[in-house]
Amino acid sequence: MVYPEFDGNSFWAMKSAMPLMGKRSLMPPLGLLTVAALLPDDWRIRLIDNNIDPVADADIAAADLVMISGMMPQRASMLDMIERAHRLGRPIAVGGPDVMSSPELYDDAEYVVTGEGESVVSTLVEAWHSGEARARIDAEKFTADVTTSPVPRFDLIRADDYMQMAVQYSRGCPFTCEFCDIIELFGRRPRTKTSAQMLAELDRIYALGHRGSVNFVDDNLIGNKKAVKAFLPDLIAWQRARKYPFDFYTEASLNLSDDPELMTMMARAGFMSVFIGIESPDPDLLEAMRKKQNMRRDIVESIDKVYAHGIQVIAGFIVGFDGEKEGTGDTVADLIDSTAIPVSICGLLFALPGTQLSRRLEAEGRLHDLHHSHWVEQKMADQCSQGLNFDTDRPRVDVLRDYRTVIARSYTPENFHRRVRSLIDRMGFEHIKVDLRRHKHWSHQARMMMRVCWALGVRAPRGKRQFWGTLRHAMKNGNPHAFEPFFMSLIPYAHLEPFSHEVLRVIDERIANVDAEDRRPAPARMPAPQLEAAAI
């Protein structure tokens, strides 16, 4: 098994942050680890995470079957792995989100698998054992019973290589955002694992010796509020019995702020941070994109309610929607500042295959060819540099300039540290239950903090004065938990600040060559993608 490489300049690589943590990659490939647990017990499995270790020709040649899974930002690496496997005479099976969305790009692979792992792995195994040289294996959408999903094969990785470990409680989201592919891939009825399953997965991670961050990689942890409220008391009891060995991170919708009981339970369970898709402060745009959960509310007030429960917010924003007004860049940047969200991720709108958005744009004759070499071959295929695969409804150069404004304003040392200081003042630290001594090696944490101070407070080309000012602000707070949002924000900032300069360089090139982007041939109608459990 090979987990393909993210380009080093990609948002997803977090390249500059890893040395500060003494880690080599952000998270393990949970999808492949789950698939590995579904394979027969007598199969000898080796997993190579290409973001950590190189894949030598000898590794490929030693395998009877190569299996890969990845996302769109890993597409170039996946296609390269297919070519290498064939050059060395080895068959290859491909799956994962990008294969689900664009299976025709992977036709050269012997086995093309779309669908949730629980539904299709046994069929793949049968095809292999029966000697089928090639097979296209598709699962019926939204039908896999996640309560049958086994504990992932965490034993196949070195836990100490990763900044966070990963688990998945649910699949799917009940909302209808036009641009989102999750509801097309996983459905609108969130399906959840049992408490026993989740605690077994955490037991396995605990037994490996990991202490610290665990990411619930759910599309929307609170998509089924009734289910998650039934699960959280069991999670709280598990954490208390082990003196809070883990702090949790996840993704949820903004309506989390409407439920004080749920936020209190999450804080007691050890959830330290949540990613929320805000997208835009413009209510007209929110209505047009069908993001009803963000409408009819004061976004700043909603975020403050989450902070008040001791949970930090990371947020996503998008530029490029139909109907955007002049000055959108400053409007978005102003909201980022007023919500005191230190780590924001702003991307250019990208019409993913099979979404409501791509179907609408195709019907309007505005969709560019997603299989054009410009998109297939781009290594920096992430939301920060390679969006707008369609004809925009206002001048394309204006969209790019507004996006540039958001990036240029968000990660100046002055603006970033101002948000961190404001966040510290707004956080309800009394709700935080994580034991600051939870980590396996306190000395490792101390070394990490020293590396952060040295890198950002001494050696950094920008922001040293602001760094020490924010550290003093955290110390003045008087609560030891005030250091949590400080360091939790600075670790990704160590990557995002230099990364923002790379994004600005790419956007400036796109602005200079905007005429070349204005039109590419529209593709034939694209089918909706199918579901895959390894899409993590």
> 370 versus 181: which is more confidently predicted?
181
In this structure, are residues 53 and 79 in contact, taking their beta carbons and an 8 Å threshold?
no
Give domain status of residue 109, yes or no: yes
- How many folded domains does the chain comprise? 1
Task: Report pLDDT for 465.
Answer: 97
Tell me the per-residue pLDDT of 336-365, one tens digit each, with 9 for 90 and over.
999 999 999 999 999 999 999 999 999 999
- The encoded tokens of residue 132 equal 């089928």
- Report d(CA 152, CA 120) in Å as an integer: 16
In one letter, which amino acid is 474? A
Give domain status of residue 256, yes or no: no
- Report d(CA 255, CA 303) in Å as an integer: 10
**Of 15-19, 113-117, 528-532, the least confident:** 528-532
DSSP class of residue 70 equals: -
Task: Report pLDDT for 34.
Answer: 98
Give kind and range of the element (H or E) at residue 266.
helix 260-269
Tell me the per-residue pLDDT of 30-39, one tens digit each, with 9 for 90 and over.
999 999 999 9
Query: What is the full DSSP assignment across 373-412?
Result: HHHHS-TT-STTTS---B--SS-HHHHHHHHHHHHHHHTS
Show the beta-strand stretches assigned E in 103-251.
111-114, 135-138, 165-167, 170-171, 191-192, 212-216, 246-251
Give domain status of residue 37, yes or no: yes
Give domain status of residue 494, yes or no: no
Query: What is the full DSSP assignment across 74-115?
Result: GHHHHHHHHHHHHHTT--EEEESHHHHH-GGGGTTSSEEEES
Mean pLDDT of 519-532: 41
Cα dihedral 403/405/406/410 (nearest 10):
150
Tell me the per-residue pLDDT of 225-278, one tens digit each, with 9 for 90 and over.
999 999 999 999 999 999 999 999 999 999 999 999 999 999 999 999 999 999
Task: Report pLDDT for 445.
Answer: 74
- Report d(CA 18, CA 449) in Å as an integer: 13
Tell me the per-residue pLDDT of 100-157, one tens digit each, with 9 for 90 and over.
988 999 999 999 999 888 999 999 999 999 999 999 999 888 888 999 999 999 999 9
- The encoded tokens of residue 106 equal 């992977």
**Of 153-162, 236-245, 411-420, 431-440, the least confident:** 431-440
Give domain status of residue 309, yes or no: no
Q: In a 10 Å sphere around its CB, with 0-12 CB exposed, 13-18 middle and 19+ buried, how is residue 441 labelled?
A: exposed
Q: Which residues form the domain of 129?
A: 2-138
Task: Report pLDDT for 8.
Answer: 64
Q: In a 10 Å sphere around its CB, with 0-12 CB exposed, 13-18 middle and 19+ buried, how is residue 366 labelled?
A: middle
Report the chain's mean pLDDT, rounded to a whole number. Answer: 91
- The encoded tokens of residue 513 equal 């060559």
527: left (phi over 0), alpha (psi -120 to 50) or beta: beta
pLDDT value at 11 more than 90: no
pLDDT value at 536 more than 70: no
Q: What is the CATH number of the domain that holds 93?
A: 3.40.50.280
Give domain status of residue 485, yes or no: no
pLDDT value at 524 more than 60: no
Task: Report pLDDT for 446.
Answer: 80
Tell me the per-residue pLDDT of 195-224, one tens digit each, with 9 for 90 and over.
999 999 999 999 999 999 999 999 999 999
**Of 5-14, 160-169, 264-273, 325-334, the least confident:** 5-14
- Report d(CA 145, CA 118) in Å as an integer: 7
Percent of the chain with pLDDT over 90: 79
Give domain status of residue 396, yes or no: no
Give domain status of residue 10, yes or no: yes
pLDDT band at 20 (very low <50, low <70, confident <90, very high): confident
pLDDT value at 437 more than 70: no
* Helix ranges, 104-208 (H): 117-129, 182-185, 195-207
In this structure, are residues 13 and 149 in contact, taking their beta carbons and an 8 Å threshold?
no
